[in-house]
Amino acid sequence: MRSSPSDTRSLWRATRSMAVAIAGLALLASPLAAQEPERRLLSVPYEMFTLPNGLRVILHQDRSVPQVAVNVWYHVGSAHEKPGRTGFAHLFEHLMFEGSGHVKEGEFDTLLEAAGGTNNGSTTSDRTNYYETLPSNALDLALFLESDRMGYLLDVVTPQMVDSQRDVVKNERRQSYENAPYGRAFLRLTELLYPEGHPYHWPTIGYMDDLSAATHEDVVEFFQLYYAPGNASLVIAGDIDPDEARRRVEFWFSDVAPGRTPPPVTVPAVELDNVVTERMTDRVQLPRLMLAWLTPGTFRPGDAELDVVGALLSSGKNSRLYRRLVYEMQVAQDVSATQYSSKEGSIFLIDVVARPSDLGPDESIARLRAIVDEELDRLRHEPPTEAEMTRVRNGIRASFYDAMETIAGKADQLNAYYMLTGNPDYFAEDLGRYETLAPDDIRAAVRRWLPADRRVELVVVPEEQ
């Protein structure tokens, strides 16, 4: 008679031996045809099934190397938090590594490292993910660890543990934002773009007062609501036999109890109707200009166009803003233009750090702003050249395939596509968004989404000595 998952969990620590396999990279896609815009079918085959407790499982076989990636997405991020209780999703990213019902504190990393594996996690406004890459013969270890913290984390979460990890998160906020050069500007930016109460208003790391006010009961309630199997998706990619992998998933996750269905995120309509300006001082040496607009969410019309706009302006030495500000005029230390895509709405940010000059900080910022506006105005009236479009397409294509080179990259992308579209194999559709864009589409996007009179202008200047 086969032992149950709970029985096996208890025996796991006493009977484990793992072999270390050679790590490597797996590139799935074959080279694209050199002729015509890429129309060939790009596909990452997968199998998908759902356990009775609601866990959605996606399997992808890639036997290039004896390695496997296990990737869990919980469909909860900072946008799912409540005002007054922010920072919970990120706090759980820390708590999930502190042990669970059948894993002692500190053993999570120790067990994986002994098996030759690596692991980590991350939090955004829309999701929290946890992932391991390890030899394929250690798949059971990763599934045991992930299932145990999904089903048995609350067995070990005490008020003392919450206090300890709360302090860790507070120190991270101080180190990464409050005491980091320009760090407070990034905390402030979303507050200026989104009104209070909007789920993207507060930072992912949360507010200090909210972290201080969080109770053990708050943490338990958040976990029970959002860390249930029905609110998660599990991807296993790499050197697997799909049928055997399914049996192992069923074995380890079958005893995880289903939870409640979380309420949907309420996202009020928001737009800027004027220029919002703010000037702040910081312990920095150089002035910094941040221009930000509210833009379409991931995969919505305009999202891909603005990715292209960002690349035209700042990707590579020949991009418009980088060439002009950094190389020709030498008035900027660095410049970036980026579409920061999120599920319910995105931010397009142009970020320029001035070079040392004889001008005062405000004069330096005014000069940078004028040049940026000149280049944006050019794009509003004249579409980019075909040569520019080719350069950008090639860069996007290279980045796209670079992200697919590892099984870990493919596993994460399968999970992302599933959450955002319902189709894990959205690779061809995603890349196709960029292949079909024409120069006039880019001009129209700049006119529609990056108006000069509806944006946030955040300026950071050095504190006076």
pLDDT digits (tens, 9 = 90+) for 376-402: 999 999 999 999 999 999 999 999 999
Distance of CA 114 to the CA centre of its chain: 28
In the numeric block, the tokens 């920095």 are attached to: 284
Q: What is the amino acid identity at position 364?
A: S
On whether the CB atoms of residues 268 and 447 are closer than 8 A, the answer is no
Q: Which fold has domain 46-253?
A: Cytochrome Bc1 Complex; Chain A, domain 1 (3.30.830)
Taking CA atoms, 158 is separated from 93, 108, 211, 214, in Å, by 16, 18, 16, 13
pLDDT tens-digit map of 183-240: 999 999 999 999 999 999 999 999 999 999 888 999 999 999 999 999 999 999 999 9
Q: How many CB atoms lie within 10 A of CB 6?
A: 13
| DSSP code, position 324 | I
DSSP code at position 82 = B
User: Do 456 and 292 form a contact (C-beta atoms < 8 A)?
Assistant: yes
Question: pLDDT at position 44, please?
Answer: 95
Condensed to tens digits (0 to 9), the pLDDT of residues 123-176 reads 999 999 999 999 999 999 999 999 999 999 999 999 999 999 989 999 999 999
Structure token pair of residue 65? 């190397």
Tens digit of each residue's pLDDT (9 = 90 or more) over 258-287:
988 999 888 998 999 999 999 999 999 999
Rounded distance between C-alpha atoms, residue 167 and residue 162, angstroms: 9
d(CA 293, CA 348): 5
- Pick the closest to residue 314 from 284, 349, 340 (CA basis): 349
**Cα–Cα distance for residue pair 204/125, rounded to 1 Å:** 6
237 vs 410: CA distance, rounded Å: 7
Q: What is the pLDDT of residue 106?
A: 87
Q: Where in the chain is the domain with CATH 3.30.830.10?
A: 46-253, 275-462
pLDDT value of position 14: 40
pLDDT for position 40: 53
443, 309 in Cβ contact below 8 A?
no
Copy the structure tokens of residue 315.
């990707």
Fold of 275-462: Cytochrome Bc1 Complex; Chain A, domain 1 (3.30.830)
The overall pTM is greater than 0.85: yes
pLDDT tens-digit series, residues 14-52: 433 333 232 332 333 333 334 344 445 789 999 999 999
φ, ψ dihedrals at 183, nearest 5°: -60, -40
- 128 touches 121 (CB < 8 A): yes
- Does residue 422 come out as left (phi exceeding 0), alpha (psi in the -120 to 50 range) or beta? left
Res 178: pLDDT: 92
